[in-house]
Amino acid sequence: MERYITFIKNNETGEEFISMRRAMAGAHDNVVKQEALKYSLPRFTVHTTYTDIELRDILETLDRWTGTSVMKDMNRLESRIEAIPQLIHKLSS
């Protein structure tokens, strides 16, 4: 099982947010379909989904190729991603 992070836009407010779910490795298409059912058009647009490992790799590549300190923010990003399930639990209680 992998953790998938899906990027979604609320077309009414313009707000962009993420949704997380666990799924089997290689299940990107299925995750996007499931999120599109939950966050359906026309109110929402589901952009794309990545595993947490893929996001980490993207940030490492940006750091390597641009010479910027993208990785300095990685710990903050990881702690925010890890905090999301707890926040969702609090909001749904």
What single-letter DSSP state applies at residue 52? H
One-letter amino acid at 75 equals N
8 Å CB contact between 78 and 55: no
The low-confidence residues of the chain, meaning pLDDT below 50, are 93
As a whole number of angstroms, the distance between CA 86 and CA 81 comes to: 10
> Alpha-carbon dihedral of residues 87, 40, 26, 65, nearest 10 degrees?
-70
Would you state the pLDDT for residue 86? 60
Instruction: Quote the tokens at residue 31.
Output: 């995750």
Strand segments, DSSP code E, in the chain are: 2-10, 16-23, 44-51
> What is the pTM (predicted TM-score) of this model?
0.69
Residues 59-72 have pLDDT tens digits of 788 777 766 665 56
Q: Where are the domains of the chain?
A: 2-92
